[in-house]
């Protein structure tokens, strides 16, 4: 008979007990672990046995011996356990976790349990100094120790090394990766590039990646919805000389569809919390006004300021070398995606045609056209129609001025050119489109016949008002 916390049932089973291939004798008085559907494992003591016929609460093959000599505070390396089975491992991790020891070794593998709170004191510069060069296992288990071993092996053997961070959602992979990168940046010296240290650029890549690749899920407020391979390059002196980040498996479906109480990617909420001039420029509002965000009732995260994170993300983008012009283009696309989600169509008069449902849909459609500079592209394309078909949709003065600008820019790549007449091509950089349009006053534009008469091209038509 076995004393159990939950329930008892009678079951007879003739089986031998094996723990990692080693026979273990279960006798009266043995302390054992028994599998339980509610709490995973419960401990108990065998009180009565009759050969192999035992009154127990589970199959004999599901019973594991309990180590009664294990230290009260657990062990820091689970290879020291007398029985390395699942209930013994989980019990040891539980004991250490309750003592705020979130790291435990199993040989050279580090197991980390998410504390769900910030513990800055175990990641500060003093802690880094302690683990720098310390033999593995001499100090308490720590992510810095793993990073230090990998770094020393790379330096001593002259070979590349890898650290694999794995776990289920919410386990702490993202934060662990940050700590690894911080420690390697600490070891990697102070190589300076254009006023910014390389290690700064390496570390600041994290908030940029998180803004565009992380989202709140049911289990995790900052879940990475993508995988990443971070490569940090060192010179022969062990100093950081460069880095590369490769991402994959982005959860694209989340952009258009989310479930309550999850959130979409952080970048959408950050932009909606940007300074007022940014809000007005991108014609944004509260997240609840956008279809791609209001499918869930969760718009804010406890203890997190989206407005603060927006500023931090922009600063990080500066540090990693993303120019102001590139940042502007990135957030134009982010804003345009939000507006695209609010565009609704209804059946048009022509067969198989569609038109914007109402004025609200037209507003968002026009905003998308402005943000993605579709109007500018369209208007330049009309100049080709003017020359070839004589539609006179743009005044001769405008065409003349544009030709002058394009001719001045003739050294740019031909691949970015626009045809202006039947037998010549004048290169014109796409990067200069907005600048060129700002220098020319263009009034109402009459669209070419092909675009005007085909409703399928209606999104290219000039915005009204």
> Can you spell out the DSSP letters for 336-397?
HHHHHHT--EEE-SSTT-EEESSHHHHHHHHHHHHHTTHHHHHHHHHHHHHHHH----S-HH
168 annotated binding-site participant: yes
73 appears as a binding residue in the annotation: no
The C-alpha angle with vertex 216 and arms to 212 and 220, in degrees rounded to 5, equals 120
The answer to whether 171 is annotated as binding is yes
CB 353 within 8 A of CB 308: no
Task: State the angle between helix axes of 374-389 and 396-408 in degrees (0 to 180), rounded to the nearest 10.
Answer: 110
3-class DSSP assignment, residue 224: strand
Task: Give CA–CA dist 142/121, Å, rounded.
Answer: 13
Is 21 marked as a binding-site residue? no
Closest to 14 in 3D by CA, of 63, 64, 51, 65: 51
146 vs 137: CA distance, rounded Å: 10
Q: Alpha-carbon dihedral of residues 382, 383, 387, 392, nearest 10 degrees?
A: 70
Helix (H, G, I), strand (E, B) or coil at 56: coil
Q: What does DSSP assign to residue 60?
A: G
Q: Residues 187, 148: contact at Cβ < 8 Å?
A: yes
d(CA 225, CA 265): 9
**DSSP labels, 149-179:** HHHHHHHHH----------STTSSHHHHHHH
242 is in an annotated binding site: no
Closest CA to 209 of 241, 246, 234, 166: 246
Place of tokens 């769900």: 116
Cβ neighbours of residue 18 closer than 8 Å, sequence gap 6 or more? 24, 61
Task: Tell me if 193 is assigned to a ligand binding site.
Answer: no
Q: Which residues does the annotation place in the binding site for ATP?
A: 167-174
Q: Which residues does the annotation place in the binding site?
A: 167-174
């Amino acid at each position: 008979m076995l004393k159990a916390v939950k329930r008892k049932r009678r079951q007879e089973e003739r089986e031998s007990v094996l723990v990692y291939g080693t026979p273990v004798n279960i006798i009266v008085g043995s302390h054992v672990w028994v599998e339980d559907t509610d709490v995973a494992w419960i401990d108990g003591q065998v009180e009565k046995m009759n050969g192999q016929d035992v009154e127990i609460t589970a199959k004999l093959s599901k019973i594991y011996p309990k180590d009664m000599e294990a230290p009260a505070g657990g062990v820091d390396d689970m290879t020291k356990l007398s029985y390395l089975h699942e209930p013994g491992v989980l019990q040891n991790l539980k004991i250490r976790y309750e003592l705020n020891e979130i790291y435990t070794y199993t040989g050279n593998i580090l197991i980390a349990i998410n504390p769900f709170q910030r513990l800055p004191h175990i990641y500060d510069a003093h802690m880094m100094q302690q683990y720098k060069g310390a033999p593995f296992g001499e100090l308490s288990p720590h992510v810095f120790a793993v990073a230090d071993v990998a770094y020393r092996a790379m330096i001593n053997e002259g070979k590349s090394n890898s650290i694999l961070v794995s776990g289920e959602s919410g386990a702490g992979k993202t934060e662990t990766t940050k700590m690894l990168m911080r420690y390697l940046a600490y070891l990697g010296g102070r190589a300076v590039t254009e006023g910014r240290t390389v290690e700064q650029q390496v570390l600041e890549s994290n908030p940029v990646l998180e803004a565009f690749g992380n989202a709140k899920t049911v289990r995790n407020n900052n879940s990475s919805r993508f995988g990443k391979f971070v490569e940090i390059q060192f010179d022969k002196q062990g100093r950081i000389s460069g880095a590369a980040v490769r991402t994959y498996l982005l959860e694209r479906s989340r952009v258009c569809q989310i479930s309550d109480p999850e959130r979409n990617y952080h970048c959408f909420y950050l932009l909606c919390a940007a300074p007022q001039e940014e809000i007005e420029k991108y014609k944004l509002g509260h997240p609840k006004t956008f279809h791609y965000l209001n499918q869930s009732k969760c718009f804010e995260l406890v203890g997190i300021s989206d407005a603060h994170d927006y500023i931090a993300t922009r600063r990080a983008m500066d540090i990693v070398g993303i120019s102001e012009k590139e940042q502007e283009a990135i957030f134009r696309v982010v804003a345009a995606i939000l507006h695209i989600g609010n565009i609704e169509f209804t059946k048009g008069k022509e067969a198989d045609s569609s038109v914007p449902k109402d004025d609200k849909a037209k507003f968002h459609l026009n905003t998308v056209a402005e943000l993605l500079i579709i109007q500018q592209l369209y208007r330049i394309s009309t100049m080709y129609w003017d020359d070839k078909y004589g539609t006179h949709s743009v005044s001769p003065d405008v065409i003349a001025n544009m030709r002058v600008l394009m001719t001045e820019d003739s050294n740019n790549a031909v691949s970015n050119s626009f045809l202006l007449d039947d037998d010549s091509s004048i290169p014109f950089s796409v990067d200069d489109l907005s600048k060129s349009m700002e220098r020319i006053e263009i009034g109402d534009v009459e669209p070419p016949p092909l675009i005007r008469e085909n409703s399928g091209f209606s999104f290219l038509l000039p915005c009204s008002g």
